[in-house]
Amino acid sequence: MPGRSPAWCLSTRSDGTRIGNAAGKRWTRPRPSRREWPRCTLPAVGDWVAVRLSEGEGPALVQAVLPRRSRVARKVAGAVTSEQVVAANVDVVLVVAGLDGDYNPRRLERALVLAWEGGAQPVVVLNKADLVGDDALADLVQATEDIAPGVAVVPVSAATGAGLDALQRWLSAGCTAALIGSSGVGKSTLVNRLLGEDRQKTSAVRAHDARGRHTTTRRELLRLPSGALLVDTPGLRELQLWAAPDALGGTFVDVETLAESCRYTDCRHAGEPGCAVLAAAEAGTLAAGRLESYRKLQRELRHLALRQDDLGRREEKQRWRAIHKAARKHRPRE
């Protein structure tokens, strides 16, 4: 890459990206517009990028994002059909849920789909375990394991430090982990515990509805005493999936295993005769809430695929318009 240097994205904010390489750390120039770069190709924390360095300590210019081995991505909030990459090149996604009223199995299922689809290993962290009794905690761990086949569930208390030793298994030297969860689950307190210092600002949840406040305002890469790297992210108030229609297999292994016994291969489990999934739900061996969650996410991903197809057709149409316009502009005059 003549004239370019490789660099690592350490943090991002609206007006630029902080990078690091052999020449030190510096900010890049303001992030390019969405017309110049699609949102999904903008540098994310954990990305390797090719940059052109300026003289002295001036800002660098990001010229390319290198291929990612994994990513944590969601659909951007609202009606826009576009992917937002939250973190890149991570090994583990720590999905944090609070046990003080925030616990929501349906939200956990969404986060697990996100992690599996991006190519990382999810781990569910049940924070604020000190706020529930031993029996209630055991029930919550079991309920989480039931919806997260093949995923470790680790109860911890960031407030007291309980359970953090068990979490170190996924935070060994050389590992990169991303921390995700909604506001108020205690991510900042957890990060401070893992760092061994009060680096991240924390705030209490609202007493009247147990809803959290945003205390983390940017994504950044932190080095833990263990030698692991941790991507801290702001709370996700909205988690819309950006995934293929067949991306539910990792999270809903139980449903898709049952589906293999359905009479019809294209069964949608919505009243078709010979549906093994509905039979399991009626027999009580498959929870009704889990089946409804599976159906809802299926509908959401099918709708996303249709929106993506429509967007792709519009972009292709615009590209050919631009080609024809350029051809007319440079056509020799007779």
For the chain, how many residues are written?
334
Pairwise pLDDT comparison (328 vs 82), residue with the higher score: 82
Listed range (165-174, 221-230, 297-306) with the worst mean pLDDT: 297-306
Pairwise pLDDT comparison (239 vs 47), residue with the higher score: 47
Predicted confidence (pLDDT) at residue 173 exceeds the cutoff of 80: yes
Residues 90 and 209 in one domain: yes
Residues 79 and 228 in one domain: yes
Residue 272 lies inside a defined structural domain of this protein: yes
Structure tokens at 98: 């609070």
Tens of pLDDT, residues 232-287:
987 666 677 888 878 899 999 999 999 999 999 989 888 899 999 999 999 999 99
Structure tokens at 290: 């889990």
Contacts of 274 (CB under 8 A, 6+ apart): 262, 263, 264, 267
User: What is the chain's mean pLDDT, rounded?
Assistant: 84
Distance CA 294, CA 248 (A): 8
Structure tokens at 168: 């170190």
Tens of pLDDT, residues 174-224:
999 999 998 889 999 999 999 988 765 554 554 444 444 545 567 899 999
Residues 189 and 289 in one domain: no
The secondary element (H helix, E strand) that includes residue 85 is: strand 83-88
User: What pLDDT does residue 178 have?
Assistant: 95
Q: Report residue 31 CA to chain centroid gap.
A: 21
Residues 100 and 212 in one domain: yes
Domain end marker among 46, 65, 84: 65
Helix (H, G, I), strand (E, B) or coil at 153: strand
Residues 225 and 76 in one domain: yes
Predicted confidence (pLDDT) at residue 289 exceeds the cutoff of 90: yes
CATH of the domain at 52: 2.40.50
Residues 37 and 82 in one domain: no
Please give the tally of structural domains in the chain: 3
Predicted confidence (pLDDT) at residue 298 exceeds the cutoff of 50: yes
Distance CA 52, CA 54 (A): 7
Radius of gyration of the chain from its Cα atoms, rounded to whole angstroms: 23
Helix (H, G, I), strand (E, B) or coil at 96: strand
Tens of pLDDT, residues 74-103:
887 777 777 889 999 999 999 999 998 879
CATH of the domain at 220: 3.40.50.300
User: What pLDDT does residue 327 have?
Assistant: 62
Domain holding 174, by residue range, is: 71-232
User: What pLDDT does residue 159 have?
Assistant: 94
Q: Please name the residue that has the structure tokens 């943090």.
A: 11
Structure tokens at 193: 């515990």
Residues 94 and 57 in one domain: no
Structure tokens at 310: 């429509």
Residue 286 lies inside a defined structural domain of this protein: yes
Can you tell me the mean pLDDT for 19-47? 74
Strand pairing report for 61-65 and 71-75: unpaired
Distance CA 239, CA 36 (A): 26
Contacts of 178 (CB under 8 A, 6+ apart): 46, 72, 86, 87, 90, 92, 93, 94, 120, 230, 231, 233
Among left, alpha and beta (phi > 0; psi -120 to 50; other), residue 274 is left
Backbone angles phi, psi at 167, to 5 degrees: -75, -20
Residue 237 lies inside a defined structural domain of this protein: no
Backbone angles phi, psi at 90, to 5 degrees: -105, 150
Structure tokens at 125: 């962290």
Residues 285 and 178 in one domain: no
Domain end marker among 47, 65, 83: 65
Residue 239 lies inside a defined structural domain of this protein: no
Pairwise pLDDT comparison (11 vs 315), residue with the higher score: 11
Residue 238 lies inside a defined structural domain of this protein: no
Residues 57 and 76 in one domain: no
Can you tell me the mean pLDDT for 279-308? 91
267 contacts 294 by C-beta, under 8 angstroms: no
Distance CA 181, CA 235 (A): 6
Residues 259 and 330 in one domain: yes
Residue 13 lies inside a defined structural domain of this protein: yes
Q: Please name the residue that has the structure tokens 């590992």.
A: 175
Residue 53 lies inside a defined structural domain of this protein: yes
Distance CA 25, CA 16 (A): 13
Sign of the Cα torsion 13, 214, 216, 94 reads negative
Tens of pLDDT, residues 137-158:
999 999 999 999 999 999 999 9
Q: What is the DSSP letter of 188?
A: H
User: What pLDDT does residue 23 have?
Assistant: 75
Q: What is the DSSP letter of 73?
A: E
Residues 10 and 78 in one domain: no
Q: pTM above the 0.85 mark?
A: no
Residue 319 lies inside a defined structural domain of this protein: yes
- Residues above pLDDT 90, as percent of the chain: 49
Residues 265 and 286 in one domain: yes
User: What sections of the chain are H helices per DSSP?
Assistant: 105-118, 134-147, 164-167, 187-195, 253-259, 276-283, 288-329
CATH of the domain at 297: 1.10.40.50
Domain end marker among 174, 198, 232: 232
User: What pLDDT does residue 246 have?
Assistant: 85
